[in-house]
Amino acid sequence: MNQESVVHEDLSGDHAGIRIVRITRPAVRNALNLATKAVLVQELSDADADANVRAVVLTGDAGVFVAGTDLKEMFTFRPTDHLTYEPGRVFSVLDTLGTPVIAAVEGYALGGGCELAMACDLVVAGASAKFGQPEIRVGLIPGAGGLSRLVQRAGRARALRMVLTGEPVDAMTAQQLGIVSDVVADGATTEAAIAIAATIVKQPPLSIRSIRAVARHAENAPLATAIELERTSFQLLFDTADHSEGIAAFLDKRTPTYEGK
């Protein structure tokens, strides 16, 4: 396994609590192979288990996020290989993390790269970034949530427009479709994602995790069920030290100090 296919950096100073996870396979435009996905699973799991990491920025290298899945490796795949190697595990791991993950997308986010971005909590895109699910052009369909997430966010007709044609969309269109949260100048996505993360890490950790969990369930559950989970989570947070600290700091007109308790 090539450990250098994914590297991480913990920021310090004003940006303490933020970990940058970078996919580094520039020779193949950061295409995802099994080894890279396995390292990503480990990196994301390690970040989530580290109490000092409060937010993750996931990005690519050399002006590209992820141009897709490594087709040379996939060419030899059979159905049982998917069961054996679990190539979709990185996407399910992203769904279950408690730590928010912000994708910083430059260049291409295609196929598995688009699915990876959509599995994150927020997506910051460069103005000329392209998002797409071109699997139909190689006799496949999206297999890691690309079609399903698009239908949820963009609606059936607009999702099918992308997936049936395989044509990518630009960053502004992706924002209109609900794929992208922020569009910034090319080359500024990591900086912008760090700025968002820096705001998030100042908030109470238990509230962050609760918000992330409720939002994930709200995507799939009936509205009444989602609201019930939201209300229960809201009520439980009244018993936390961070809630008491937040109220006290507000009344005292000072900056709160949250400890995740």
The residues annotated with a catalytic role in the active site are 115, 135
Angstrom CA distances, 117 to 81, 112, 124, 187, 218, stand at 24, 9, 9, 17, 19
* DSSP β-ladder status, 101-105 and 55-59: parallel
Which residue is it, tokens 């920025």? 57
Contacts of 89 (CB under 8 A, 6+ apart): 37, 41
State both tokens at 91.
């996407």
Q: Which H helix or E strand runs over 253?
A: none
Reading the block at residue 28, the tokens are 């193949």
Whether the CB-CB separation of 194 and 182 falls below 8 Å is answered with no
With the C-alpha atoms ordered 180, 59, 16, 51, is the resulting torsion angle positive or negative?
A: positive
Which of 147, 120, 148, 116 is closest to 133 using CA atoms? Answer: 147
Evaluated on CA atoms 26, 31, 32, 33, the torsion sign reads negative
